[in-house]
Each structure stands twice: as C-alpha cells, then as structure tokens.
Amino acid sequence: MNDNLHQLRCCGCGVRIRGDQAGSIFRCKDCGDLFEVEYPGWGLVGGTDRPNAGALKWLWRERRASGELLDRSGVWRFRELLPILDSFGNAVTLQEGNTPLYHLPRAAKALGVDQLFAKHQGMNPTGSFKDTGMTSALSVAKERGFEWVACASTGNTSAAMAAYAARAGLKCLVLIPQGKIAWGKLSQAMDYGAVTCQLKTDFDGCVRVLSTIVQQAPIYLLNSVNPYRLEGQKTPALEIAEYFDWSVPEHILVPGGNLANSSALGKGLREMKALGLISRLPKISVIQAEGANPLVRSFVANDGQKLEPVAANTRATAIRIGNPASWRKAAKVIHETGGWCLDVTEGEIAVAKAELGREGIGSEPASAVTLAGLKKLVADGKVAPSDTVVLLLTGHTLKDADYTIDFHRGTLLKPEEAEPLLPEIAALRRDAVEVEATPDSVLNALKEISGRWV
Ligand code: F0G
C-alpha cells in the first residue's frame, strides 16, 4: 500500500489541493476557511485503497503485541487511517496514545449513570492530548524538509511541539501569552529547548502574530489549523471504539478551546462509520468555561452558524480562547452527532476537578469541564441512566499544580464564585496542616482532622 493517500479539501468552498501545496498557510486562498485531510480512495467500495474493516480490526489488535516502534504508538498503530506521509518510516514518535480508559464509580453513583468512563489523554508522553496530533503534524513537517516549526499556545501545544521537535532535531518557536499559562507547561517548552517568546497579549493575539510570521519565514505552523494535527487527534476515538469492541458509547464529552479536539474526534468517528468499523455515531458534546464560551454563545444566538469572538477569561488557562479557529468544524460535529454545547462556571470546574481527584484521577482544570458539563446534561435529562458516557480528560494534573493547591487552601475562588457550591467545596478541600515532628502530634492531628473530614 502507498503510505500517502491524502489530499486537502477546503471545508468552506470544497476546493481540493495536494497536501504539499498548502505550505505553511492552512487557510483556503479562495474563501479563507480551513482545510481538512481527505482520502479519496476510501470512497470507492471495493477499491484497492479502501481499507477493509474486519482486516483492520484484526491487524490493529495484533499490533498491540508487537515490539515495532510504530506499532507501540497508539497513533501509528492505526496508521491505515492516517496515510499522510510518503513513508511511515518518517514518523516521529514518543510512543503516544494507548491511554487508559478509567471507570469512575463514585461519579457514576452520584449521577446515576453507571457506565461512566474517563479517557485520560493526560497520560501521553508530555502530559496532554496534544501529543497525538503533534506526532502526525510534526512528522509531515520533517518529511517536507522544514527546519523550523512554530505554534501559539496556551501551554500544552507548545510543550508537545517542543518535545517532538527535539526528537526530530528540528528547531522550534513558541509564542505564549505572558502570565497566562501554567508553569508546568512553560517549564516543558524550556526543557525541550524551544525558543519561547512570552507576548504581552492573550492566546488569540499570539495566533495573530504567528500567522504573519509564517507568511514571511520558512517556518511550519503547528497550530491546530494545521489539518495534519487532527489526523493524529482522531485516534483516541479509535481507541475508545476498540475498547468497547466497536460498539461506541452513547456520549463523548470534550472540553472546547480552539475546538480542534472535538473536530478531530468527530472526523475519526465519521470515517470509522463510513468504513464500516462502527455502525452509529456517539453524541459529541463540547463543554466550555463560562468566561471563554464563544461557541456556546453562537449556538444560543444562531444555532452555531456564526461566531462572534469574545474576550476570554477563565482559570482553566488551557481553554482561555475567545476566537477559536476550528469552530465551524466543531459546530458541524455537534450538529451531525446530535450533541450539545454548554458552559460551566469557575466554581463548577473546581468542584468537578476535585471530585475526579477523589477517584484517583488527576487532571488539569480544562479537563474537568467535562464532568461539570455531564452533571448539567444529566440534570436536563439529555443523558439517560442507561447510557454509556466517556469524558475526554485532556491534561495531566501536574501541568497546573498551583490551581490544585489554591483550591485546597481556599484561595482559588472568589466568594461569589464559591457561594453556590459551599457544601461541595467544604467536603472536598484537603489543605495540608502544619504539625510538630512527633508521633503524638501527628496522631492528635489525625484524630482532630478525621473527625471533620471522614
Ligand atoms: N484541554 C487542554 C488541557 C488543552 O490544552 C486544550 C487546548 C483544550 C482542552 C482544548 O482543546 O483547543 O482542541 O478545543 N490547548 C491549546 C494549547 C489551545 O495551546 O495547548 P481544543
């Protein structure tokens, strides 16, 4: 099989170009919309390029026992569904993917939805779901001979890009909003050797600056407007389907920032259905933070047909995005699958994150919007007790340890944010206590505290 079977199609006007014609500009010259990767050979039933569903399921399972580097990647294990490289031998991998799917018994009980799971994409090599898209897009950059790659980021994309660039021996430029990204993420970009510029603007401002830079210099853009990112980011949908033996859950809930992840998962599911790997689509719902909710506003105002950018503000800094690039793709996924788009408050995010923590599942705040959103969907009767639900957790808890510590110290939320949730917060908070260095003092503290906490 030829490794490269793709072309790019503009999502707005439908114009098609060869992959290498896009260079580093991923907006259509005619209408300005984004491209998506398309595999024309898949349309021909019985055609030589169309993968066979049964054979693929067998092959992918076999590869789980393989020691080959590409087979050990949870992205490239599914490489027949991302034939974007001239040679798969050019793939740059850190053995991403293959992330755990955890049952959440406590949240399931509290919500009355027994089959509740978390797909933890924070368990990737750099601690976020971005690795799955970076392995695919950065491999394209390397194969096409770029020496420099760049992204604007709220932190996780830059951490992932810097790591994969380091593996590939490419140089990389990171633009981040000054003071608005978590330290864990900034430290990763430095560790992996990126040129990191903190700009006195927000994420949306960083995107604007970078889009001009890549028109003036031979730098490959690795933001999620790059359609090859989405090819890797669709593979968690394959892992989920494989986990449930190709009978997909009723619901998948995804945090919404720049809206590429929801778009990618939707694309993966759409392609699986077209190829006969699954027989129906789960409902994909996108959850945003109340202070960074342009897609929610767009659904309320015009059913997701038009989007007005907002000035974004949330402590879930990963999704502090007011002008999301992939909003049209995400709106299409929500419409096509019958899912919803809703937002949650700062207090609801903090409580949901602490509840996940209590199940032994750490995550960064942006990931916890999914549990907070699920509570609302259950309350509205949109998720039934018999439904199977998967929450997409996108980042590792250690990315933003300050947030967690502030919550437990009681310094995270403003009184008006905490007020509607005081009993929940009181039950979840676990500040560290200072105790004398003697067994008696520790035992006394235990007695006193366990009376309050247990
Ligand atoms: N969760 C985390 C932990 C993220 O880092 C992001 C996005 C999202 C959710 C939202 O995903 O943008 O595809 O809707 N982080 C980007 C970054 C924008 O630069 O790291 P999305």
CA-CA-CA-CA torsion sign (202, 259, 17, 22): positive
User: Residue with the nearest Cα to atom 4 of ligand 1?
Assistant: 318
The per-residue pLDDT for 44 is 75
How many CB atoms are closer than 10 A to CB 284?
Answer: 25
The per-residue pLDDT for 1 is 52
The token pair at 357 is 């923590």
The arrangement of strands across the sheet holding 219-221 comes to: 195-199, 171-177, 148-152, 219-221
Ligand 1 centroid–CA 264 distance in Å is: 12
The token pair at 274 is 């077209």
Q: 157 CB less than 6 Å from ligand 1?
A: yes
The label of the residue with tokens 């694309």 reads 267
Task: Determine contact, residues 102/117, Cβ cutoff 8 Å.
Answer: yes
Ligand 1 centroid–CA 430 distance in Å is: 28
Angle between helices 260-274 and 235-243 (to 10 degrees): 60
Q: 318 CB less than 6 Å from ligand 1?
A: yes
Instruction: Give the mean pLDDT per block of 10 residues along the chain (454 residues).
Output: 86 95 90 96 81 96 96 98 96 98 98 97 98 98 97 97 98 95 95 97 96 95 97 98 97 98 98 96 98 98 98 97 97 98 98 98 98 98 98 98 97 98 96 94 90 64
Task: Determine contact, residues 347/416, Cβ cutoff 8 Å.
Answer: no
Distance, in Å, from the CA atom of 152 to the CA atom of 217, rounded to the nearest integer, reads 15
pLDDT 10s digits, 103-142: 999 999 999 999 999 999 999 999 999 999 999 999 999 9
3-state DSSP assignment of residue 373: helix
Q: Which atom of ligand 1 is nearest to the CA of 367?
A: 1
The per-residue pLDDT for 228 is 98
Distance, in Å, from the CA atom of 43 to the CA atom of 54, rounded to the nearest integer, reads 17
3-state DSSP assignment of residue 46: coil
Q: 257 CB less than 6 Å from ligand 1?
A: yes
Question: What pTM did the predictor assign?
Answer: 0.97
What is the DSSP annotation of 300-368? HHHTTS---------S-GGG--SS-TTHHHHHHHHHHHT--EEEE-HHHHHHHHHHHHHTT----HHHH
Q: 258 CB less than 6 Å from ligand 1?
A: yes
Angle between helices 183-191 and 401-409 (to 10 degrees): 160
The per-residue pLDDT for 290 is 98
Q: 259 CB less than 6 Å from ligand 1?
A: yes
The per-residue pLDDT for 56 is 97
Q: Which atom of ligand 1 is nearest to the CA of 153?
A: 19
Single-letter residue type at 136: S
Write the CB contacts of 193 (distance below 8 Å, at least 6 apart in sequence).
162, 165, 166, 172
Q: 319 CB less than 6 Å from ligand 1?
A: yes
Q: Which atom of ligand 1 is nearest to the CA of 366?
A: 1
b/e per residue, 199-236, with b = 16+ CB within 10 A? Answer: bebbbbbbbeebbeebeeeebbbbbbbbbbbbbbbbbb
Task: Determine contact, residues 8/38, Cβ cutoff 8 Å.
Answer: yes
CA distances from 410 to 134, 316, 397, 425, 429 (A): 36, 17, 18, 9, 8
The per-residue pLDDT for 3 is 78
Q: 261 CB less than 6 Å from ligand 1?
A: yes
The per-residue pLDDT for 398 is 97
Q: 256 CB less than 6 Å from ligand 1?
A: yes
Helix H or strand E segment including 16: strand 16-17
In degrees, to the nearest 5, what angle opens at C-alpha 170 toward C-alphas 205 and 95? 95
The per-residue pLDDT for 48 is 79
3-state DSSP assignment of residue 407: helix
